[in-house]
Amino acid sequence: MGVTRTPRDRWIEEGLRALAAGGPDAVRIESLAQALAVSKGGFYGYFGNREALLTEMLDTWERTVTDDVIERVERDGGDAKARLERLFLIASAGQGPVTGTAADLAVRDWARRDEAVARRLRRVDNRRMAYLRSLFGAFCTDENDVEIRCMLAVSLRIGNHFIAAEHGGGSRAEVLELVRKWLLG
């Protein structure tokens, strides 16, 4: 009977979970093996070293937050506003180890100290912005208006959790709903 190996994607997912919790320094082979309740020997069956894991983690993050999200939005069709609604819903619900705000912020923080990660982050943000431009541009004729809406949507996605302000008599959810309606108006 053969030995059951921990799947490659479990190592990557656990690495992303560690990254989200503690940055790239928290991605340690021994810690990941402990979290997965396996020996670290299985790690080397998939990855030559920690750097190879970090690269695959970033590959997975990039694919998941761009290609996979765009495919999910496009799958059900509809006009640009319907697709934006779906995109906003996916973005607000995405709290997995790869798609969550914590992973996104960890990559952004890492990019401040690592130029290769910064290049990848620029690629992801440019891809996100290009997709948003295509959607907002379908019903906004003014290029500046399109750019403003894209910038606000991305900024809100990244920065919303940093804002601790109260919103008068309304809740954060109510204000976010007003923003969504304004962006789609």
Which sign does the torsion angle of CA 83, 85, 91, 94 carry?
negative
Q: Distance (Å, rounded) from C-alpha 145 to C-alpha 164?
A: 28
- Here the tokens at position 29 are 């082979």
Which sign does the torsion angle of CA 79, 93, 56, 109 carry?
positive
pLDDT band at 2 (very low <50, low <70, confident <90, very high): very low
Domain count along the chain: 1
User: Looking at residue 69, what is its pLDDT?
Assistant: 94
Q: Is residue 12 part of a domain?
A: no
Q: Is residue 13 part of a domain?
A: no
**What letter represents residue 40's amino acid?**
K
Q: Is residue 34 part of a domain?
A: no
Q: Which domain holds residue 126?
A: 57-184
Q: Distance (Å, rounded) from C-alpha 8 to C-alpha 107?
A: 21
Q: Is residue 36 part of a domain?
A: no
Residues 113-138 pLDDT 10s: 999 999 999 999 999 999 999 999 99
Residues 6-45 pLDDT 10s: 899 999 999 999 999 999 999 999 999 999 999 888 898 8
By CB neighbour count within 10 A (0-12 exposed, 13-18 middle, 19+ buried), where does 133 fall?
middle
Contact 81, 132 (CB under 8 A): no
User: Looking at residue 94, what is its pLDDT?
Assistant: 67
User: Looking at residue 160, what is its pLDDT?
Assistant: 86
- Here the tokens at position 28 are 């340690």
Q: Is residue 130 part of a domain?
A: yes
Q: Is residue 120 part of a domain?
A: yes
Please state the rounded mean pLDDT for residues 95-100.
Answer: 70
Q: Is residue 139 part of a domain?
A: yes
Which sign does the torsion angle of CA 89, 92, 97, 99 carry?
positive
Q: Is residue 32 part of a domain?
A: no
pTM: 0.90
CATH number at residue 63: 1.10.357
Q: What angle do CA 129, 122, 145 make, to 5 degrees?
A: 25
